[in-house]
Structure 1
């Protein structure tokens, strides 16, 4: 009887000849509301000055949905705004798969994890509570929170069809346009520019009428309602398979594998070993059952699906959408952002400790890493490579502190040169889970190899 290894060559051959549409519906046609959102996402005219910034300017699909400027990623990290000399103050997060984040809510996740999950942004302030009928919004008081879009903001005849797009991803879409360090354009101006855009007919197809940019009635002008619908369209596209394609090597190999279980015949031994370390699975490639503990935070599936403890779910999200302090050092290279300024969840929920940030997915973390392109990792972009980030997780509490060598607020380059790690920017980082994993250099490399299998092969094209 044939074994998995006997059919390896057959599987690998079939994987190279199967059409992309087998792996991703992202190659198919979009619904009008999704196509409208896609056009808005790439439209640089939706900024002041015009032609300066689009959503895609900070979330480039070809680079894993992050800032596509290698020089900035390697140094100052934060994105320039449309307005001259305007700068952000935190690294733009990737937005693919962000539509799976649940509405912001309380939870009991154990003694070492703050009791909140969901939302969008690093601090979860785009709560998405409008997706829940009668929900109180914002959930908390005393902290920053985004405006929400409710079912009543949708045309009555479309509420049943479009309510699925309400939530954190729609609320997040309300924010970058009027932000003066991002697109710097007011709601009425966004409405007016879409009204004359080449894709204006998509609005009519999606919402059943022409976009209304009237300033009346004064207490709730029509342009505000239209602006919210544009945010819903952005959410629709960001919820589509054009963005969330599940088309990585991992997804293809898992689907093609004879029993859909690891080790995958479409993987190298190093990649399979990286998976086993990621999940702490005892196997022939990980005989001592070493745990890198990546799955403690980077593990999750869409709501309603059973938990995935072995990383074999077809729609593994690689994020728990909760908030953690992993001990990231202060990044002195971000202009005009002092130590302890960006506090994460505490900016939204004042009662929690500073330094907890929402877990990003590790899908596409390696996308675009070619030709010397530099990506920045973690909320403040202190890490400049996956190798460095994995090494930090492994040895954070083993290597000497850079401060003991007289290096204050060391950069990643300085830390690696001196074989040290700086102290955490915020007190009480996660212990036991990371910091002293006792992984070898080869095992660190296996983890990086596995992370690279999570790169989607489908990349949305500009409309």
Structure 2
């Protein structure tokens, strides 16, 4: 019965792939209203700001994260892809079910990947090469391109990606992010924390018009907000400080909370159910999940990732609108010249050329020889909040491209990838009795997935265990 329900859900998701369906538009309106509510509450706190500088930075970061005015069309906050009710990842069930990725400030432009979670992201180390293990470790983004090596903070460098990404917040120049912030209610506290020079910039007369034009910047004018060298330096420094503020909020107990049932069990304040306990034993044993999704060790917090990258053989997601962004849009922009032949090369592509749309960190040329061994590999995500959702029927997307639409489905994939047959086109058994070919077989992980020998009940137990990793758990009162 479980397999039949899973097959029906997966097939329904694949047969319906609107760009922005009425259902998605309705949910987007609801999410935008929630963003406005949170922003209003956050800005109200400026009237009685905390006297502790750490808390001031967190408040600034939250104010920036929930500010729609910082996108090119003043309609998309960073939080649009990272809301609390889903563990700071994609909050639109219908998009998770149908497109996998999210539209940007220009609503006809979609990203090529699903949003990662912001929670626990600041705990990722600065990207480095572990020579003994032969692995790159750390960074943010699926392809690790927010290395953290410039600012010493991958989460801050990640925050610098979306503002000028044409398929996300869409600004043509990072200086626009600073200019828009200079007009916002949190300016005074920003100057108090980071210094009065933060916005002491002589903006050109046409800055409003320039910043209202969706990016990318013109080929011959990569910094279309024309500033003096000194003012460009100030704008760049303030951009960094805005990003550090966002990372400060993401590191706060409000976002990185360690408040799940798992944490309560570890501290002796709760007990697993028999199914959850069985799932945890499988997670650490037969299923080999903690080989990559590490649950802690001596001196380690249980972050449920080892911060390395892997190619688990995820199939291409044909529902991604990005695959059809191969023609000029109304503004003449082509997001994906490769169209449906696009293959996500992950970390390897970053090491070779950076990211085609957004590259917040410089590529270390000394690491380019590592590119072949990292093609198609993507960062192992934390499993914390992996099942956090606002209501039971809410759909979450999984995998770097959002191919999977339930935890049961992706666990079944880990279990049976190399056992089940290859699907034929439009195969009704896709996801249960067959799997499509991997998007890429380069460097595919065959050590910890593909042929695990788990029963249906064991798969369900692992899913039940992962449900204990959602923050916000309230232990039942003892009678």
Distance change (3 Å), C-alpha of 1:241 and 1:202? same
Q: How does 1:2-401 map to 2 (within 5 A)?
A: 31-50=55-74, 52-108=75-131, 110=133, 115-130=135-150, 149=151, 166-185=152-171, 186-209=173-196, 211-215=198-202, 217-218=228-229, 220-257=232-269, 266-280=271-285, 291-299=286-294, 306=298, 315-337=301-323, 338-350=340-352, 351-353=371-373, 354-368=375-389, 370-401=391-422
Once residues 56 and 422 of structure 1 are traced to their aligned partners in structure 2, the CA distance between those partners, rounded to angstroms, is 33
CA shift, 1:383, in A, is 0.5
Please report the TM-score for the alignment, with normalisation by the length of structure 2.
Answer: 0.71
Once residues 210 and 336 of structure 1 are traced to their aligned partners in structure 2, the CA distance between those partners, rounded to angstroms, is 40
Match in the other structure for 2:451: 436
1:201-249 residue CA offsets vs partner (Å, 9 max, x unmatched)? 3213322436315155426442222111111111111122221100001
CA contact (8 A) 1:35 1:202 kept: no
CA shift, 1:396, in A, is 1.2
Once residues 451 and 439 of structure 2 are traced to their aligned partners in structure 1, the CA distance between those partners, rounded to angstroms, is 19
Once residues 214 and 434 of structure 1 are traced to their aligned partners in structure 2, the CA distance between those partners, rounded to angstroms, is 54
Once residues 272 and 454 of structure 1 are traced to their aligned partners in structure 2, the CA distance between those partners, rounded to angstroms, is 13
RMSD: 2.3
Once residues 106 and 274 of structure 1 are traced to their aligned partners in structure 2, the CA distance between those partners, rounded to angstroms, is 33
1:446 matches 2:467: no
CA contact (8 A) 1:300 1:307 kept: no
Once residues 81 and 144 of structure 2 are traced to their aligned partners in structure 1, the CA distance between those partners, rounded to angstroms, is 19
CA contact (8 A) 1:173 1:234 kept: yes
**Structure 1 or 2: larger helix share?**
2
CA shift, 1:458, in A, is 7.4
CA contact (8 A) 2:82 2:89 kept: yes
Comparing 333-342 with 95-104, which one deviates more in the overlay?
Answer: 333-342
Find the residue that maps to 1:342 and give its secondary structure: coil
CA shift, 1:254, in A, is 1.6
Once residues 457 and 410 of structure 2 are traced to their aligned partners in structure 1, the CA distance between those partners, rounded to angstroms, is 15
Once residues 339 and 349 of structure 1 are traced to their aligned partners in structure 2, the CA distance between those partners, rounded to angstroms, is 21
What 5-or-longer segments of structure 1 have no aligned partner? 1-27, 131-148, 150-165, 258-264, 281-290, 309-314
Find the residue that maps to 2:400 and give its secondary structure: coil
CA shift, 1:188, in A, is 2.6
CA shift, 1:300, in A, is 5.8
Please report the TM-score for the alignment, with normalisation by the length of structure 1.
Answer: 0.73
Once residues 191 and 458 of structure 1 are traced to their aligned partners in structure 2, the CA distance between those partners, rounded to angstroms, is 38
CA contact (8 A) 1:192 1:213 kept: no
What 5-or-longer segments of structure 2 have no aligned partner? 1-49, 203-226, 324-339, 353-370, 475-479
Distance change (3 Å), C-alpha of 1:125 and 1:272? same
